[in-house]
Structure 1
Amino acid sequence: MAAASSLNTALVEWTGFQGLPRFEAVSDDDFAPAFEAALSEHDAEIDAIAGNPEPPTFANTVTALEIAGESLSRTSALFWNRAGAHTNDTIQALEREIAPKLSRHYSKIGMNAALFARIDTLWQERETLGLSVEEMRVLERHWKGFVKSGALLAKPQQQRLAEINERLAGLGARFGQNVLADEKNWSLLLSSDAELSGLPDFVKDAMAAAARERGAEGKYAVTLSRSIIEPFLTFSDRRDLREQAFRAWTARGMNEGETDNRGIVRETLLLRQELADLLGYANFAEFKLDNTMAKTAGAVNHLLMTVWEKAVRRAGEEEADIARLIAGEGHNHEVMPWDWRHYAEKIRAQKFDFSEAELKPYLQLEKIIDACFDVASRLFGVIAVEKKGIPAYHPDVRVFEIRDRSGTLVALFLGDYFARPSKRSGAWMSAFRSQHKLTMKNGTTGEMPIIYNVCNFAKPAEGKPALLSLDDARTLFHEFGHALHGMLSNVTYPSVAGTGVSRDFVELPSQLYEHWLTVPEILTRYAVHYETGEPMPKTLLDKVLAARTFNAGFNTVEVTSSALVDMAFHTRTLADDPMAVQEEVLREIGMPRSIVMRHATPHFQHIFAGGYSAGYYSYMWSEVLDADAFSAFEETGDAFDTAMAKKLKDNIYSVGGSVDPEDAYRAFRGKLPDPDAMLRKKGLAMMEEIHGSDA
C-alpha cells in the first residue's frame, strides 16, 4: 500500500467551491497511488461487512455496502472524467492498467461467499423485513448483482468469470483509445478557394480554428469531429473531398496497425458469449436484458423491425428525390453515402425554403444554454447561476449553481462544450457525485449531486460566437435532460440515484427534454440572430417546425441498422469475422447502399467501450416513451402545464431507480405507450395513411 505521505488528499477531500474537487491540485501522477490506497481501504470495508458477527440486517449489510468505497468512488470519478474529457499518454497508460484492476476488485467482491450469504439471507426473507419500495429495489439490485457476478458458481467457474471481466475491461479501454487516436491523427488541410467551394463562413471559421489548433495557421482543417465533418459533408461542393473525408470518418478503428479494433471486437464478443454461458444465459443479450423494460431480444427486435420497415421505405423515397436532383444537375453518378447530406440539404432548402446556413446564425451556443436553463426553471422550478472564475478540469469548462425557488442549492452543474484533441468524440453526461440521503462515515448526512455534460461543438475563433446546427442544439438539450435526471434526484440510496435506472429507461428524461427546444415560444425567445439580436422570423420558424421530420428515413435507418447489428452480435453464434456478421445483417434487412450505419462496428463505442452492449436499441425504446410523454403536455394545450410538470418531476426525474420503471411511467402517464406516438413524431406513421395498410 502507498505510504500516506505520498497520497494527494485532494483526490478524496473535495474542498473546492461548494464541495467541488480542487481539480488544479491533482496531477496525472497522483492517480496510481490514490487508486492503490482506495482499493485497499474498500477491501477492508468489505471484509468488515462480510465478517460482521451480528446477524445480517438491511442496515448492517445493504446500507453499509451503499456507503462503502467513498475514496474509491471519488478517485474513480476524477480519473474517468480526465480519461474521457481531457486525456493524454499518461492517463491512457493508467487507463489500460486500472480498468482490468478495477474489474478484478469488483469481481472479488461479487464472489465473496460470506458477503453474498448475508445478502442472500436478506433476499430470501425480504417479505418479512418491512422494507420500503426503494429498499426492496436496492436489495434486489445488490442480490442480482452478486448473482450476475458469479456468486452461485463453483470456484473454478468464478475464477474464469473474473478473468473474463478483467479482460473485457482492458479491451474496452483499448477500443476507445484506438478510436480517439484515429480521430486525433487524421485531418484534411485545405487552403484554396476551389477546395472550400460551397462552405459557409461558420464552417470555414470552425475549420480555421481546428487548423490553428494543429499548428496550421492560415489553413482550414476537416477533422473527424461531428461538429466539423457533418457540416463539411453537407455543404462542400467538392465531391472528391467529401468522399475522402467520409471514408476516413467511417474507417475509424479499421485502419490496420495498432489502432485497428476488429481483433478487439472479435475477442470481446467471444468472451461475452462465454460469460453468458457460465451464468446460464442463452446468449449475452439475454444476460443484459434480464433487468430491463424490454426483457427479451424478441421484444427488442420486434420494435426495431417495425420501425425499420417504415424507415427504409421512407429512405427509398428520399433517395429517389436525391437521385432526381443529381440528374437534374447534369451528373450521372448514383447516390453514395458522401452525397446524401449534401443533396438532402439542397432538397430541404428547396422544399422548405431555408437552409442550415440560414438557420445557424440564430442558434448561438450561449442562447441555447439559456434556453435549456429556462425550460428547467419553468418545468421544475430550478435556477442556474453561473459562477465565473471557478477552476475546473479544463479552462473551457463552466461551473453553475443549481438552486430551487427558495434559493436552496440543490446541485452543481459543469458544462464542457467544445471539441479538443484530448476529448473523446460524442456527448455525454456523468457525475462526480450522486445524490443520496445516507449518513456517511464522517457523520455528514446526504450529499448534493455534482453533474457534468460533455459535448464536442466546434470552438469559434476568438471574439466570435459559437453557432450550432439544429442537431447540435438538440444534443445540448438531450445531455441537459440527462443532467436534470441526476440533479433532481431525490432518493435515499446512492445506487438508485439519478440515472441509476435500467438502460432502456435512462434515455427517457434526455430524449423527452429535446422536445422543448422546438416549442415555438422557446425558439422565438432564444433563437436570435448573433449579429442583429433579432428573433428568428416567424416565416423561418414555421419552416423549421414544418421540416422537423425531413430526412427521417435516412436518420432512422442509420440508427436502427446499428441497433439491429448490436442485437445480432449478442444473440447469434459468432463467425470468425464479426465484420461478416455486420454485413450479413445489413444484407438481410436490405440496407440501402447509399446509407451507412451511424456507428460501424470498429468504432461502435456505445457497445464496445460504453456500456450499451445489447442495449443500443434503448434510444428507440425510450423514444417510444418520450413521444408519448410529450403528448401528455400537448394534450393539455400547454407545453409547460404546471400539474403535468409536477407529475413528470415527481415520477420520472426525481425517483431514479427507486421504483420499477413501468410503475414510474404509469404513475406519470396513467398507461404504458405503444410505438404509434414515436412513429408519428418521426413522421413515419403517416406512411400507412399514404400507402394503405397493406403497403
Structure 2
Amino acid sequence: MTNPLLAEWATPFNLAPFDAISDEDFAPAFDAAMQEARAEVAAIADNPDAPTFANTIEALEASGDALDKVLSVFFTVAGADSNPRRQELQRDFGPKLAAYSSELYGNKQLFARVEAVWQARETLDLTAEQQRLLMLTHRAFRRAGAALTGEQDKRMRAIMARLAELGTAFTQNLLADEAGWHIELSEADLEGLPEFVIQSAHAAGQEKAADGPVITLSRSLIVPFLQFSLRRDLRRRAFEAWTSRGAMGGETDNRAIAEEILRLRAERAALLGYESFAAYKLETEMAKTPEAVRDLLMAVWEPARAQAEADADKLTTMMREDGINGDLEPWDWRYYSEKRRQAEHDLDEAALKPYLSLDAMIEAAFGCANRLFGLEFKPLDVALYHPDCRAWEVTRQGRHVAVFIGDYFARGSKRSGAWCSSMRGQAKLPKVQGPVVINVCNFAKGDPALLSYDDARTLFHEFGHALHHLLSDVSYESLSGTSVARDFVELPSQLYEHWLEVPEVLERYATHVETGAPMPPEMLDRLLKATTYDMGFQTVEYVASALVDLTFHEGVPPDDLMTAQRDSLDRLGLPHAITMRHASPHFAHVFSGDGYSSGYYSYMWSEVMDADAFAAFEEAQGPFDADQARALERHILSQGGSSDPAELYTAFRGRLPGVAALLRGRGLAA
C-alpha cells in the first residue's frame, strides 16, 4: 500500500489524513522524502546552466516539498501527542536532519551558485521580495558555515549533528519529568481549593489512573494550586518539583546537556568569526547586539525589582498575620499575592472563572478577528491527530483563507507551554496555497472548561501568532507568516492580547457559563484595574530568565551550569522569594533548539512595540479603528519576513518606539 504521508491527500483542503497515518509510516516516509530532497538539491547544484535567481534561489525555495510535508505531520504529533515510538523517532530524525542541513549549506558547488546570484543582484531586476529572499538565502549559507573548508567545515558538521541530538534529549527529558511526577491529594488536602481546581485535579487523577485527585506539573493546574492551597508543606513540595524539572538526577537530568550545548554553541560562533554566540545570534535580529539587549532589560529590571521588593514586604506582613515566621518563600508568593489581590481588588478567581469559559474565549478571539480583519470561522468535521482537537475553515468575503486547528487541553503526552505552528505556510509560488495553522495550549480540562484570566490571555496571544499566518500575503513560503526576526515575531501575538482587555469585548463574551449572564460591571471594572497587579513579580521572573540566557551566551561557557546561574542572579539582586520563570534545566525556549537562544529577551523587545502599536488604535477611533486595522494588516500581518522588521514597523507607526510605553503598560512607570 502507498504510504499515506507520501501520497496525494484527497482530503478537505489537503489536510493530513491523520486517521490513515500510523507511527510505522513515519520512518519510511522520512527516508524516501529525504532521498528526494537530496536529489532536488543535487540537481540545482549540478545544473550546467549559468546561475540565475530562478534556477538557483527559487529552485531551492521549491525543493524539499515532500520532506516538509512529512515533517509537518510528525513534529505536530511529536510535540502535542507524544509516545515512546515518536520519541524514538525524534532521536533518530534529529541527527539525520542536522546532517542534511550541513550537507545543504556545506555544498560548495551550491554555495558558489548562490554567491554568483548574490554578486549579480544589482543587474537582475528583482522585486523587493525577491531581493529579500536572495539576501536571506545568501546570509543563511554564510552563517551556516558554507565558506568554511577542511577541518573547520568537518567540525561544524559534527557540532550541528551533536546539537540536534542534545536538543531532542533535553526536550524528552523535560517531558519525562513532567509526565512522571504527581502528588495524590486526600479530601483534607483539598481544603481551600476552589471547585475548578478540584475538578481539574480529579480529571488529572483519572488520566493518571490514580485513586483520587492529583496535582501534576501542568502549569494550568499547579499555578492555581500554589495560589489557593492552605497547605504550605504541599505548596513547597509541588513548587520544588515544578522548579526542579530537568534537574531531578538520573537519566532525565538536563544539566550536563545544557552545559554541552553552551560549549558547542560558543565553538560554532568562534568558527564563524564571532566573539560570542550571542553576537552571532543577534546579528539577524532587530536588536543587533548583546549590548542593546542588555540595555533594554536593565532599563526594565530596576523599576520592576523595586516594585517586587515593595510587594514582598506587604506579603511578608500578611504571612506574619497568619503566625508564620521566617522569610517569605517562593512557594508562598502566589498564595499571599492571591489573598492580597482579593483584598485590594475584591477579585476572586474562583468567582471570575465561570465567566471565562474556553468556548466563550475562542469566540471572543474569533469575534475580534472578524471586526478587525473580516475573517469568519466555520467549524470543520475532519480527522485530526487527537480527539481534543478542533478545526475551523477561515474565510473572508466567502473566499477560503486558511484552516485553523485548536488543541487546547493539557495531557501527559503533550509538552508543556503553549505554541503556534503551521503545518503549511501561505505561498503563491511555486503554487498557490493557503495556510494550515495550529494553536496548542495546556489548559486544565473540565466540563465545561474554565480559564483563568492568564489562560485567556494565552489563548489571545497564540491566536495573535495565528493571525500572522492567516493574513500572510507573500509569494514565497519561507517568507510567510511568522518567518521573521525572533524579536519581531512576538509583536502580533502580544499586540492581540490587548483586545482581551477591551471592555466591550469582555462585556459581550465574558458571560456566565451556566446562566449566560454578562460579567457584572463591578467585577469587570475590578478585573481591568487588576491587569497590572503583581507586575513587579511577573516582570522580575521573566527578565531574570532573559538576562541569564544572554549571560550564558555572551561570554565563556560555564563549567557548572547551576553555579553560573546562581552567580548571575546574585549579581542582579534577585529577590529571595522570586525565582527565574524558567530555570536552566527546564528552559526549553533556550535549550530545546536554537529558537530563543540568546533571544528570550524578544518577548520584551516586542512588548515595546506592541504597547506603542496598540496606542495607535487608542489615538485614533478606538480598538476597532478600521484604518488602523487595515494599516496593521498591510504593513505587518500580511508581510511576513518580506522586509526588514524595522522598516515594517516604521511603515505602520511612522517611527520606532521607546521603552516608556512598556513601563506605563506594566504599571512600572514612576
- Classify the TM-score, shorter chain: over 0.9
Look up the match of 1:318. 311
Q: Normalised by the size of structure 1, how large is the TM-score?
A: 0.95
Look up the match of 2:267. 274
CA offsets per residue over residues 428-487 of structure 1, 9 Å max, x none? 000110010013xxxxx3111000010000111xxx210000000000000000011011
Matched, 1:292 2:278: no
Secondary structure at the aligned position of 1:75 is classed as helix
Q: CA deviation at 1:10?
A: 3.4
The answer (yes or no) to whether the contact 1:354–1:543 under 8 Å persists in 2 is yes
Segment drifting more, 375-384 vs 351-360: 351-360
Equivalent in 368, 390, 397 of residue 389 of structure 2:
397
CA offsets per residue over residues 110-154 of structure 1, 9 Å max, x none? 011111111101111212211111111100111011011111111
Identity of aligned residues (%): 53
Secondary structure at the aligned position of 2:403 is classed as strand
C-alpha distance in 1 between matches for 2:598 and 2:316: 35
The answer (yes or no) to whether the contact 1:402–1:411 under 8 Å persists in 2 is yes
C-alpha distance in 2 between matches for 1:575 and 1:251: 20
Letter in structure 2 aligned against 1:238: R
Matched, 1:264 2:257: yes
Equivalent in 133, 138, 154 of residue 138 of structure 1:
133
CA offsets per residue over residues 169-191 of structure 1, 9 Å max, x none? 11000001001100000000002
CA offsets per residue over residues 175-222 of structure 1, 9 Å max, x none? 0100110000000000222x11110000000000000111124x1110
C-alpha distance in 1 between matches for 2:253 and 2:667: 38
Look up the match of 1:489. 472
Look up the match of 2:513. 530
The answer (yes or no) to whether the contact 2:258–2:591 under 8 Å persists in 1 is yes
Look up the match of 1:147. 142
Secondary structure at the aligned position of 1:423 is classed as coil
Give the superposed CA RMSD: 0.9
Look up the match of 2:194. 200
Secondary structure at the aligned position of 2:16 is classed as coil
Look up the match of 2:418. 427
Look up the match of 2:573. 590
Q: Normalised by the size of structure 2, how large is the TM-score?
A: 0.99
C-alpha distance in 1 between matches for 2:340 and 2:10: 55
Secondary structure at the aligned position of 1:446 is classed as coil
C-alpha distance in 2 between matches for 1:169 and 1:232: 36
Look up the match of 2:434. 448
C-alpha distance in 1 between matches for 2:340 and 2:486: 37
Look up the match of 2:208. 214
Alignment of 1:400-549 (within 5 A): 400-404=392-396, 406-439=397-430, 445-460=431-446, 464-549=447-532
The answer (yes or no) to whether the contact 1:397–1:415 under 8 Å persists in 2 is yes
Where do 5+ consecutive residues of structure 1 fail to align?
Answer: 440-444, 689-695
C-alpha distance in 2 between matches for 1:25 and 1:670: 51
Matched, 1:348 2:341: yes
Equivalent in 28, 49, 52 of residue 57 of structure 1:
52
Matched, 1:161 2:156: yes
The answer (yes or no) to whether the contact 1:119–1:143 under 8 Å persists in 2 is yes
Matched, 1:369 2:362: yes
C-alpha distance in 1 between matches for 2:557 and 2:145: 24
C-alpha distance in 1 between matches for 2:313 and 2:619: 36
C-alpha distance in 2 between matches for 1:10 and 1:304: 45
Secondary structure at the aligned position of 1:237 is classed as coil
C-alpha distance in 1 between matches for 2:519 and 2:57: 54
Secondary structure at the aligned position of 1:459 is classed as coil
Look up the match of 2:667. 683
The answer (yes or no) to whether the contact 2:5–2:25 under 8 Å persists in 1 is no
CA offsets per residue over residues 79-128 of structure 1, 9 Å max, x none? 11111001111110110111111010011010111111111011112122
Q: CA deviation at 1:58?
A: 0.8
C-alpha distance in 2 between matches for 1:584 and 1:274: 23
Matched, 1:72 2:67: yes
Q: CA deviation at 1:155?
A: 2.4
CA offsets per residue over residues 364-402 of structure 1, 9 Å max, x none? 000000000001011111101112x31101011001000
C-alpha distance in 1 between matches for 2:273 and 2:347: 56
Letter in structure 2 aligned against 1:577: D
Matched, 1:566 2:549: yes
Letter in structure 1 aligned against 2:203: A
Alignment of 1:227-238 (within 5 A): 227-238=220-231
Alignment of 1:68-147 (within 5 A): 68-147=63-142
Q: CA deviation at 1:9?
A: 3.3
CA offsets per residue over residues 3-61 of structure 1, 9 Å max, x none? xx6x5133453322221110111111111111111111011100111111111111111
C-alpha distance in 2 between matches for 1:409 and 1:155: 51
The answer (yes or no) to whether the contact 1:12–1:71 under 8 Å persists in 2 is no
Segment drifting more, 329-338 vs 110-119: 329-338
C-alpha distance in 2 between matches for 1:53 and 1:252: 54
- The number of equivalent residue pairs is 669
C-alpha distance in 1 between matches for 2:13 and 2:217: 37
C-alpha distance in 2 between matches for 1:354 and 1:225: 24
C-alpha distance in 1 between matches for 2:117 and 2:485: 23
Segment drifting more, 65-74 vs 149-158: 149-158
Look up the match of 1:691. none
Secondary structure at the aligned position of 1:504 is classed as helix
CA offsets per residue over residues 232-258 of structure 1, 9 Å max, x none? 000001100000000000000001100
The answer (yes or no) to whether the contact 2:4–2:25 under 8 Å persists in 1 is no
C-alpha distance in 2 between matches for 1:128 and 1:224: 58
Q: Which runs of 4+ in 1 moved over 4 A?
A: none
Q: CA deviation at 1:361?
A: 1.1
Letter in structure 1 aligned against 2:646: E
C-alpha distance in 2 between matches for 1:631 and 1:348: 27
C-alpha distance in 2 between matches for 1:285 and 1:533: 51
Look up the match of 1:645. 629
CA offsets per residue over residues 313-369 of structure 1, 9 Å max, x none? 000011011011111222223210000000001111111111211211110000000
The answer (yes or no) to whether the contact 2:345–2:526 under 8 Å persists in 1 is yes
C-alpha distance in 2 between matches for 1:351 and 1:509: 32
Matched, 1:665 2:658: no
Equivalent in 16, 21, 33 of residue 38 of structure 1:
33
Where do 5+ consecutive residues of structure 2 fail to align?
Answer: none
Secondary structure at the aligned position of 1:370 is classed as helix
CA offsets per residue over residues 518-567 of structure 1, 9 Å max, x none? 10000001111111111001111011111111000000001000000000
Secondary structure at the aligned position of 1:170 is classed as helix
Look up the match of 1:442. none
The answer (yes or no) to whether the contact 1:574–1:581 under 8 Å persists in 2 is no
The answer (yes or no) to whether the contact 1:11–1:26 under 8 Å persists in 2 is no
The answer (yes or no) to whether the contact 1:383–1:402 under 8 Å persists in 2 is yes
Look up the match of 1:622. 606
The answer (yes or no) to whether the contact 1:178–1:253 under 8 Å persists in 2 is yes
Q: CA deviation at 1:499?
A: 0.5
Letter in structure 1 aligned against 2:403: L
C-alpha distance in 1 between matches for 2:6 and 2:42: 24
